[in-house]
Structure 1
Amino acid sequence: MKRYKKRMVIPLLVMAFVMLAGCSSKTTSSSQADPSSPEKPKIGLIMKSLANEFFSTMADGAVAHQAAHSDQYDLHVEGLKDERDISRQVALVQEMVASGVDAIVIAPADSKALIPALRRAKKDGIVVVNIDNRLSPEMLEEESLQIPFVGPDNKAGAKSVGAYLANKLQPGDGVAILEGLQTSDNGRMRKAGFDEAMNEAGMKIIDSQSAQWEMSNANTIASSMLSEHPEIKAILAANDSMAMGAVAAAKSVGRSDDLLIVGFDNIDAAAQAIRDGKILATADQHADKLAVFGIEAALKLLADPNSTLSDVETPVDLVTAETLQ
């Protein structure tokens, strides 16, 4: 396990991170180096797109936590401009390693493609904690690599949303699914939860396509689904950005009053849409705490280099108009 290194905080280095092509920097939280001050670990938090409210909220929660515990660790946050830019996220891991972080907490854009870069980080003595989207357990086992996952049960969360929707439908009703990235574990698990809930309730899944987590893609795909299959009674979206895209699609084809839509993440726009009756339900992963859970896990591992950490399941709760009252 590598030891903490004393570092001077150089403003030009911070500017270089911000200017790197293909990524966006939320903030750098760090105190000026003082030779007399206790040595602190530096944690790098690597997100998906900080343009996505869910991940921006995660980053804000992490920054607030560091500010409240500034005597315990320093934090640097980076995110993508486009959460599908997997190669850029791989580069961010490499840059964090080069900058001398002691730990990396990462919400990977892909469940397999990030593993080689993270393996090299661990080889360099860096603690790695996986949040939000689980890295492939099969590939980790093949690589004999232990990286703890700190996050919710996405399948269970999606199933609870689907089951709530099913209570508003009749057996045999047609539904459609807007999937996330098919290379992401959380995308696959949410689809599996939706599938299970619909099948158990006797619904007919008419169409299921990936909108790649994006609102505009979801709008286009949902519009096509509804035009081609007017019998669709509900759309299950694997995140709230896609659910908002489905809301726009429903409006464009005149289905705002009768189409039921559910999502996942509980971003502010979706919560308001639930209050307005445009979305039926979503799942709350408590974005403001999710990165913090990962940081706390990393700090435990840094405090005891000989320790190991099992996966940590974090809360996921059903959100409806009733729970928002």
Structure 2
Amino acid sequence: MKRIAFALVCLALALAVLAATAGAGPRAYTILLSMKGPGSGNPFWAAVERGARDAARALGVNLVVLSPPAETDVQAQVAILEDQIAKRVNAIVVAPTDVSALNSTFDKARARRIPVLFVDTDATWPHKVTFIGTDNRAGGALGGRFLCQQLQGRGEVAIITGVMTTQSIRARVEGARDAMRRCGLQIVAELPANSDRALGQQVMEDILTRRPNVRGVFAANDLMALGAAEAVKARGRTGQVLIVGFDAIPEAAQAILRGEMAASVAQNPYNMGKFGIENAVKVLNGQTVPKRIDTGTTLVTKQNAAQYAK
């Protein structure tokens, strides 16, 4: 009888050890997702957050989502990251608000052995685990070539840029600029609107006033493109000035279907969030991941805009 009791005690202890070991897996991980802006203010970031939350739920990860109030608020993101580093999160998945300004903060994460993965926007910090996102230069070139084809390589065009210290924005602008110059389009204006819709409208009004013969515009994101479309509409020139955006958010897709925008370059923000969490867990479990994971781009025009308009 004593032997049976002893065996049962041993079995209970073994089961307890197994349970404790299981609890030390992904369910014990706390991962920070810090985007360049809140998901509530931009459908793109909302999709990134949704992908991250779905992956975290599937893997049993505790996900903390904290983002600055605006894409230009570098110091707010620094404060968020340093607070979470002090709280010893297990990993950081971040879309940096600046290509270099956060490097000293990332150094603090590295000192505490907290892996850092970049999504959407790459940066200069050399110790990142991986970059997960769009080849933004290729995406910008896709939008630029569309304008080349539609305008047959002739006429004046403009570029509305975002925050040029942001790697993703700069790469889109460079890709579009190079493609349009190669086909013979004349770039007569290149003005910033800081990823803001109201500023996009204001900048476009200025372009139309100073360069009334402009025939096409590449905007580095859809919020600026939608603002530009409003300015063009107010001048009664919808359809005469072709506007290409970037992100293919639902409102932009709807504008394409109405003929107020000509096209947008779609990314896959859901996969950025999803792959970010999945690869963070892989690293925490001792696995290696690729240094660069491309989530792809698609040109959205009237032919396929309906699937992005929901």
**TM-score bin (small chain):** 0.7 to 0.9
Q: CA deviation at 1:146?
A: 4.0
Which of residues 241, 244, 248 is equivalent to 1:266? Answer: 248
Q: CA deviation at 1:36?
A: 9.0
Contact kept, 8 Å, 1:177 with 1:191, in 2: the verdict is yes
Q: Does 1:206 align with 2:192?
A: no
Which of residues 90, 109, 116 is equivalent to 1:121? Answer: 109
Contact kept, 8 Å, 1:301 with 1:309, in 2: the verdict is no
Q: Which has the larger radius of gyration?
A: 2
Tell me which residue corresponds to 1:230: 212
Tell me which residue corresponds to 1:96: 84
Which of residues 33, 38, 42 is equivalent to 2:23? Answer: 38
SS of corresponding position for 1:172? coil
The 10-residue stretch of structure 1 (251-260 or 102-111) with the greater mean CA deviation from structure 2: 251-260
Q: What is the correspondence of 1:79-228 to structure 2 with a 5 Å cutoff?
A: 79-136=67-124, 140-141=125-126, 145-228=127-210
- Structure 1 or 2: more helix by fraction: 2
Q: Call closer, same or farther: CA 1:36–1:297 in 2, change over 3 Å.
A: closer
CA distance in 1: counterparts of 2:87 and 2:266, whole angstroms: 34
Render the CA deviation track for 1:235-282: whole Å, top value 9, x for unaligned: 100000110010111122222231100000111111111111111111
Tell me which residue corresponds to 1:290: 272
Render the CA deviation track for 1:100-140: whole Å, top value 9, x for unaligned: 2100000011111111101111111101001111102xxx3
Contact kept, 8 Å, 2:118 with 2:132, in 1: the verdict is yes
CA distance in 2: counterparts of 1:164 and 1:46, whole angstroms: 33
Q: CA deviation at 1:202?
A: 0.7
CA distance in 1: counterparts of 2:231 and 2:208, whole angstroms: 8
Q: Which runs of 4+ in 1 moved over 4 A?
A: 34-37
5+ residue gaps, structure 1, are 1-33
Q: Matched residues, percent identical?
A: 33
Render the CA deviation track for 1:33-57: whole Å, top value 9, x for unaligned: x979612211100011111221122
Q: CA deviation at 1:147?
A: 3.9
SS of corresponding position for 1:230? coil
SS of corresponding position for 2:236? coil
What TM-score do you get using the length of structure 1 for normalisation? 0.83
RMSD (Å), alpha carbons: 1.7
CA distance in 1: counterparts of 2:159 and 2:117, whole angstroms: 30
What TM-score do you get using the length of structure 2 for normalisation? 0.87
What is the count of residue pairs matched by the alignment?
Answer: 283
CA distance in 2: counterparts of 1:250 and 1:193, whole angstroms: 24
Contact kept, 8 Å, 2:98 with 2:165, in 1: the verdict is yes
Q: CA deviation at 1:190?
A: 0.4
SS of corresponding position for 1:279? coil
5+ residue gaps, structure 2, are 1-18
CA distance in 2: counterparts of 1:308 and 1:267, whole angstroms: 29
CA distance in 1: counterparts of 2:133 and 2:302, whole angstroms: 25
Contact kept, 8 Å, 1:49 with 1:82, in 2: the verdict is yes
Q: Call closer, same or farther: CA 1:171–1:283 in 2, change over 3 Å.
A: closer
> Which letter maps to 2:196?
E
Which of residues 42, 51, 65 is equivalent to 1:52? Answer: 42
CA distance in 1: counterparts of 2:290 and 2:180, whole angstroms: 35
Q: CA deviation at 1:67?
A: 2.2
CA distance in 1: counterparts of 2:46 and 2:68, whole angstroms: 11
